[in-house]
Structure 1
């Protein structure tokens, strides 16, 4: 981790960003939504720096090392466990993991919750794809109109 310390003013500036969950002097916690967005955009070939800049997170403030480290961490977590690996589980996973055997009802409830999460993720990706196609269509139409004039 970088040794750069954020001033109070910088912390306040970062907290105003909708993709930032929390900020301290030494660390930034990003929202799960931003992590999913990062993975989706990075898979399309967008550089980590561009993704952060487009999200309003200035590279000069955050630092390239932090951006690079976060990207590596998120990609590794995503490869290992999928979308669940991107979630901040610090509040839910405190202490030792439970060693008790889950009942059939508990197993079903967990699988249903996981299924619901995956469906929501699929819907989000469909919406993103639709928006991207619409933007590309508008760009190509505006270029055609410019060529006609």
Structure 2
């Protein structure tokens, strides 16, 4: 991450842009609509700097390195997961597991799934062992 920090004035200036969702002293959060627009324009052959400038974002203020890394991150997410990959999921996905108690049926289902996975792994290992022995005989 960059070591350039935004002053209060710079943060306020960036917040005025409709493509910016939030700004802190270290980071900018762009709207999902802007990310989709960025991908569409990039696929038409435009460079990240040009897309940001036409969106009214000051490259000198943001920093070219931030622009390039944001574009790279969004392209990677888009190619991996499509439009869903561009959505900001920090509010809905805290990364914490559920604290609730599992029902008996859920516990059984999880254990059965784990058992099937382990059985499949064992079968795979057996097949690999058999193939290795066949290769050694030849």
Q: Indicate the residue corresponding to 2:49 in structure 1.
A: 49
Output the TM-score relative to the length of structure 1. Answer: 0.64
Mapped to 2, the partners of 1:17 and 1:48 lie a distance apart of 17
Q: How many residues align?
A: 100
Q: Indicate the residue corresponding to 2:59 in structure 1.
A: 59
List aligned pairs for 1:75-86, cutoff 5 A: 75-86=75-86
Mapped to 2, the partners of 1:24 and 1:96 lie a distance apart of 24
Q: What SS does the aligned partner of 1:91 have?
A: coil
In structure 1, the gaps of 5 or more residues are 102-149
The Cα shift of 1:96 comes to 3.1
Mapped to 1, the partners of 2:5 and 2:26 lie a distance apart of 5
In structure 2, the gaps of 5 or more residues are 107-138
Q: Indicate the residue corresponding to 2:27 in structure 1.
A: 27
List aligned pairs for 1:84-95, cutoff 5 A: 84-95=84-95
List aligned pairs for 1:104-143, cutoff 5 A: none
Q: Indicate the residue corresponding to 2:123 in structure 1.
A: none
Mapped to 2, the partners of 1:97 and 1:16 lie a distance apart of 36
Output the TM-score relative to the length of structure 2. Answer: 0.69
Q: What SS does the aligned partner of 2:22 have?
A: strand
Mapped to 1, the partners of 2:18 and 2:59 lie a distance apart of 16
Q: Please give the root-mean-square deviation of Cα atoms over the aligned residues, in Å.
A: 1.4
Q: Which has the larger radius of gyration?
A: 2
The Cα shift of 1:94 comes to 1.2
Mapped to 1, the partners of 2:23 and 2:63 lie a distance apart of 14
